[in-house]
């Protein structure tokens, strides 16, 4: 499957880049992390190389004129690139948050993630998380079709642990008997090889959170913090509803800046700067690109897919069905590890794998 982006007008890409860079630059100019990430995203999505460190300013009204013919969802995604560019700042200068809000208004976008970033800039981290949780997850959850989760124990909040569900646990245990190379067999091998309790068990992941583990298999991403950033960047961008950006916004707050302390399914861990790690800007940008391909060609939120009905199919077949493209050469060169690569595991997961090598979970 081709990974080449659709053709984009180089002049427009540079104009948009100028607007984004102007919107998110702190007083001393773009940071290296901002510039590298935004440049990688532009390249991954458009095929156009832009040096974000050497761009002339472009104001909000001028950017709005550039994008006047673009539909609202396109302009909203541009605003999300701005928000991502400011969310990697710690601290987030209030003037940057206010400037991004002006750009969003000029583009005709009323977006909850712009408000979340302003809360961060004000130091109101708790209120920001409430806003992000309500508008990014809770409303989306209320409208979702929960049948694919195959669970009778659905939590009222999508980010909280659900009650034990023996029938769901048995469903997952059944995957162990599926043929090698099938989606179900590989996802349960991931669980067993890392010591993860099965969904439905008293300490297992909720049926909702377990949905993203199928994507780990299909996208071939690791399960350490960098791999989680990759998988949720793909999932969030694959969602036709722009609210899917909440996943990436949350993971950045948990694993890069520490703006979020606890999201129910993950706890804050900023011992390492994951986005600042070598090659991570290419890996994250490629995950966004892959999600965009899925959004445009498959058009269904990956967290609502009935993976249980697909569990007995070969992974390659399910990837083709969901239109998940391969990783780009840039991501591979940046050492984006596969699901079963040791480099894709956390230290604790590696230790478990070593202790149980060749054994039965």
Look at residue 329 and tell me whether its pLDDT is greater than 70: yes
Tell me what pLDDT residue 5 has: 52
Taking 60 as the threshold, does the pLDDT of residue 2 lie above it?
Answer: no
pLDDT at 112: 93
The count of domains in the chain is: 2
* High-pLDDT (> 70) share of the chain, %: 96
Instruction: Tell me the pLDDT band of 154, cut-offs 50, 70 and 90.
Output: confident
Backbone angles phi, psi at 215, to 5 degrees: -70, -35
**Are the beta carbons of 215 and 205 closer than 8 angstroms?**
no
103 assigned to some structural domain: yes
Structural domain harbouring 17: 1-123
What is the average pLDDT across 118-132? 92
Residues 51 and 6 in one domain: yes
pLDDT per position as a tens digit, 283-296: 999 999 999 999 99
Q: Tokens standing for 319?
A: 């990837």
d(CA 279, CA 37): 10
Structure confidence at residue 361 (pLDDT): 44
Q: Inform me whether the pLDDT recorded for 106 exceeds 80.
A: yes
> Does one domain contain both 244 and 284?
yes
| Lowest mean pLDDT across 7-16, 50-59, 248-257, 352-361 | 352-361
Residue 262 located in a structural domain: yes
291 and 255 belong to one structural domain: yes
Q: What would the mean pLDDT of 240-264 be, rounded to a whole number?
A: 91
Residue 281 to residues 22, 68, 251, 275, Cα–Cα distance (Å): 20, 29, 15, 6
Q: Are residues 59 and 170 in the same domain?
A: no
Model confidence at 3: pLDDT above 70? no
Question: In which band, very low, low, confident or very high, does the pLDDT at 138 lie, cut at 50, 70 and 90?
Answer: confident
Q: Is 153 found in the same domain as 110?
A: no
pLDDT in tens, 208-232: 999 999 999 999 999 999 999 999 9
pLDDT digits (tens, 9 = 90+) for 21-37: 999 999 999 999 999 99
The better pLDDT of the pair 337, 360 is held by 337
Is 79 contained in some domain? yes
Handedness of CA 190, 192, 194, 195 (dihedral sign): positive
3-state SS record for the chain: CCCCCCCCCHHHHHHHHHHHHHHHCCCCCCCHHHHHHHHHHHHHHHCCCCCCCCCCCCCHHHHHHHCCCCCHHHHHHHHHHHHHHHHCCCCCCHHHHHHHHHHHHHCCCCCHHHHHHHHHHHCCHHHHHHHHHHHHHHHHHHHCCCHHHCCCCCCCCCCCCCCCCHHHHHHHHHHHHCCCCEHHHHHHHHHHHHCCCCCCCCCCCCHHHHHHHHHHHHHCCCCCHHHHHHHHHHHHHHCCCHHHHHHHHHHHHHHHHCCCCECCCCECCCCCCCCCCCCHHHHHHHHHHHHHHHHHHCCCCHHHCCHHHHCCCEHHHHHHHHCCCCCCHHHHHCCCCCCCCHHHCCHHHHHHHHHCCCCCC
Cα 251 to Cα 21, 180, 201, 255, 315: the distances in Å are 22, 32, 25, 6, 26
Output 337 or 272, whichever has higher pLDDT: 337
Give the residue-averaged pLDDT of 179-204: 96
C-alpha distances in Å from residue 55, one per residue of 16, 20, 25, 58, 100 = 11, 10, 11, 9, 17
The burial class, CB within 10 Å (0-12 / 13-18 / 19+), for 199 is buried
On whether both 113 and 213 belong to a single domain, the answer is no
Report if residue 71 sits inside a domain: yes
Candidates 305, 223, 220, 237; CA nearest to 84 is 237
Confidence of residue 358 (pLDDT cuts 50, 70, 90): low
Whether residues 114 and 168 share a domain: the answer is: no
**Cα–Cα distance list, 128 to 20, 64, 124, 142, 253 (Å):** 22, 27, 6, 20, 11
Cβ neighbours for 134, distance < 8 A, ≥ 6 positions apart: none
Same structural domain for residues 215 and 168?
Answer: yes
Higher local confidence (pLDDT), 174 or 359: 174
The pLDDT of residue 267 is above 90 = no
Residue 134 lies in a domain: no
Give the whole-angstrom CA distance, residue 287 versus residue 256.
17
142 occurs within a structural domain: no
Backbone angles phi, psi at 208, to 5 degrees: -70, -50
Q: Please check whether residue 326 lies inside any domain of the structure.
A: yes
**Do 112 and 171 fall within a single domain?**
no
- In a domain, residue 358? The reply is yes
pLDDT per residue over 49-100, tens digit each?
999 998 999 999 999 999 999 999 999 999 999 999 999 999 999 999 999 9
Residues 210, 343 within the same domain: yes
Q: Residue 48: pLDDT band by 50, 70, 90 thresholds? A: very high
Q: Collect all residues with Cβ–Cβ distance below 8 Å to 65 and sequence separation of at least 6.
A: none
Pair 225, 360 in one domain: yes
Q: Are residues 190 and 86 in the same domain?
A: no
Q: Considering the chain, what is the average pLDDT of its residues?
A: 93
CA distance 210 to 230: 16
183 neighbors 218 (Cβ within 8 angstroms): yes
């Amino acid at each position: 499957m081709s990974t080449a982006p659709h053709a984009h007008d180089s002049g427009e890409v540079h104009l948009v880049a100028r607007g984004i860079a102007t919107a998110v630059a702190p007083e001393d100019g773009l940071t290296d992390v901002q510039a590298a990430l935004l440049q990688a995203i532009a390249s991954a999505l458009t095929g156009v190389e832009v040096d974000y460190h050497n761009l002339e300013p472009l104001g909000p009204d001028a950017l709005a004129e550039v994008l006047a013919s673009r539909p609202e969802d396109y302009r909203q995604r541009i605003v999300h690139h701005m928000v991502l560019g400011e969310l990697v700042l710690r601290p987030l200068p209030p003037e940057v948050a206010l400037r991004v809000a002006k750009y969003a208004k000029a583009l005709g976008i009323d977006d909850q993630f712009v408000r979340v970033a302003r809360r961060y800039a004000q130091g109101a981290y708790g209120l920001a998380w409430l806003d992000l949780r309500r508008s990014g997850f809770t409303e989306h959850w209320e409208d979702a079709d929960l049948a694919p989760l195959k669970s009778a124990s659905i939590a009222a909040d999508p980010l909280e642990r659900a009650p034990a569900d023996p029938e769901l646990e048995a469903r997952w245990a059944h995957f162990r008997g599926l043929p090698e190379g099938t989606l179900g067999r590989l996802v349960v091998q991931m669980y067993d090889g890392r010591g993860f309790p099965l969904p439905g068990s008293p300490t297992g992941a909720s049926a909702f959170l377990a949905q993203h583990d199928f994507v780990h298999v299909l996208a071939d991403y690791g399960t350490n913090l960098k791999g989680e950033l990759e998988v949720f960047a793909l999932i969030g961008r694959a969602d036709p509803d722009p609210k899917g950006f909440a996943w990436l916004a949350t993971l950045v707050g948990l694993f890069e800046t520490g703006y979020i302390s606890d999201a129910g399914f993950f706890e804050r861990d900023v011992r390492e700067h994951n986005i600042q790690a070598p090659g991570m800007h290419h890996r994250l940008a490629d995950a966004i690109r892959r999600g965009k391909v899925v959004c445009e060609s498959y058009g269904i939120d990956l967290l609502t897919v009935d993976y249980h009905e697909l569990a007995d199919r070969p992974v390659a077949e399910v990837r083709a069905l969901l239109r998940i493209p391969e990783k780009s050469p840039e991501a591979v060169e940046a050492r984006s590890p596969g699901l079963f690569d040791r480099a894709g595991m956390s230290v604790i997961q590696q230790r478990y794998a070593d202790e149980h090598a060749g054994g039965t979970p």
